[in-house]
Amino acid sequence: MIGARDMAFPKLNAIAFWLNPPAGALVLASFLFGGSQSGWTAYPPLSVVTANTAQTMWILAIVLVGTSSILGSLNFVVTIWKMKVPSMKWDQLPLFCWAIMATSLLALVSTPVLAAGLVLLLFDINFGTSFFKPDAGGNVVIYQHLFWFYSHPAVYLMILPIFGIISEVIPVHARKPIFGYKAIAYSSLAICLVGLFVWVHHMFTSGTPGWMRMFFTVSTLIVAVPTGVKVFSWVATLWGGKIRYTSAMLFAVGLLMMFVLGGIGGVTLGNAPFDVHVHDTYYVVAHFHYVLFGGSVFGIYAGIYHWFPKMTGRMLNETLGKIHFVLTFIGTNLTFLPMHELGLQGMPRRVAMYDPQFTALNELCTIGAYILGISVLPFVLNILWSWVGGAKAGDNPWDALSLEWTTASPPMVENWEELPIVTHGPYEYGMNGRSPHPEDAAVTKVGV
C-alpha cells in the first residue's frame, strides 16, 4: 500500500511472528497443570493465593505475546515512516496505514506497562515479593492500574486497524472520494493519544476518589469525539455514492450500525454513576461485544472479502458471501441485544447459573449464538472453494486506486519489478464513480 518491497526489518518481523506459537502452547499446556483460577485479568490477591504453575505459564505467555506486539509495532512505524515511496505525500497515505501507525504507537506506549505489572505479579507468586499482597504491605489496586493502562487501549488496538479497513472499503465500493480524509487520519492519532487517559473507568467501583471519577468520566466521553468524526465521514462518503452492495460493502455498512450501537453503550458506561450501577453485569458484556464483534469481526470479514482477490488471485462467491452476512448480522443482534436488558435487570457476568427470571432472554441469546456458529460455515466453504476454483480476479477487480491494486494478484515476491511513482491520491474518484484521471490508476511505472 505504500510502495515498499518488504518490511523495514524482515527478521524482526519473523521474530515477532514466531513468538506467538510458543505463547499459545504455554496457555494450552497450562490446562495440564490445573489452569489459571483468576480469570483473564489475573487480579491479585486471587492470582497470588491460587498461585500455581498454570498461572506462571499464563503470565509468561502474555509477556511473550506482548513482546511480539512491541516488536511488530516498531516494525510497522519504521516501515510506514521511512519506506513509503518518495513520491507519496503524507496526505496520499492510505487511511489503513494511518490507522496501523496510530495502533502501533499506542501499543509501543501501553504494552510495556502491562508487561511490568505481570512481571511483578510473577515475582509475588514465585519469589516471595509483596508488590500486590495486602497482608504484606502490597496494594492490589496498583495492579489494576497497570493492567487497565494497557487493557483499555487494547480495545483501540483491536478496533483502529478495523477503522482503517472500513476507510478503504467504503470509498471503493461506493465509487466516491472519502469524505474528510484528513479528519479520519488525524482522528486515528487523536484516539491514540486520548485513549491513554481513560483506563480508570474500568475501576470506578475500586474505591477511586471523586476527582478521579470526574476526570476519567470526562476523558472517556472525549474519546468518543474522534470516533464520531470517523462515523460521520463514512456516512457522508456513502451519501450520494454509486454503492455496490458487495459482501465487503455489506459487512462495512453492518459494522457502522453495530459500532454506533456499541459506542452509545460505551458513552453510558463512561459516566461514573451509571457505570457503578451496571458494573460487572451483562450490560457490559453487551457493549463489549457490539464493539468488538459487531466492530472488529465485521471489519475483518469486510477486509477479507475486499482483499481476498489480491491475496489469492481469485474472487469469492458473492451469493455465499451475502448468506454469510445475513446469518452473521441476525446472529449478532439476537445474541447480544438482549444482554443490555439482562444487565439493566441486574444479571451479573461470569455466573454458572442465573436467576430463573432471566431464562427467556438467555434462551434468545443462545439461539443467536447457534446462528452465529452456523454463519461461519458458508464463509469457510466460500474461502476453500474460491481459493481452488473461484473466478480469476485480475489485478484490480474493484477498480480501486490505492497502490496494492497496481501489482499482480497475488503479488509477486517484493511486490513490484519497478517501484511505482504516485501521481494522485488513493481516493480520488470522480462523481460519476470513476477516477478523474484518464488512466484510472494510482501510479505510473518508471525504471528503478
Q: How many residues in the chain?
A: 448
Mean pLDDT taken over the chain? 92
Half-sphere exposure of 44 (CA within 13 A, CB side): 29
pLDDT of residue 34: 86
More confident residue, 419 or 327: 327
Residue with cell 511490568: 116
pLDDT per position as a tens digit, 126-154: 999 999 999 999 999 999 999 999 999 99
Confidence category of residue 440, pLDDT binned at 50, 70, 90: very low
pLDDT value, residue 448: 31
**398 pairs with which residues across the strands?**
none
Count of beta carbons in the 10 Å neighbourhood of residue 323: 18
**126: CB partners within 8 A, 6+ apart:** 51, 56
* Stretch 49-73: mean pLDDT: 93
pLDDT at 123: 96
Does the pLDDT of residue 439 top 50, yes or no?
Answer: no
How far is the C-alpha of 448 from the C-alpha of 446, rounded, in Å?
A: 6
CA 433 to chain centroid, in Å, comes to 30
Q: pLDDT (tens digit, 9 = 90+) per residue, 177-199?
A: 999 999 999 999 999 999 999 99
Tell whether the model's pLDDT for residue 445 goes beyond 50.
Answer: no
Q: Helix, strand or coil for residue 281?
A: strand
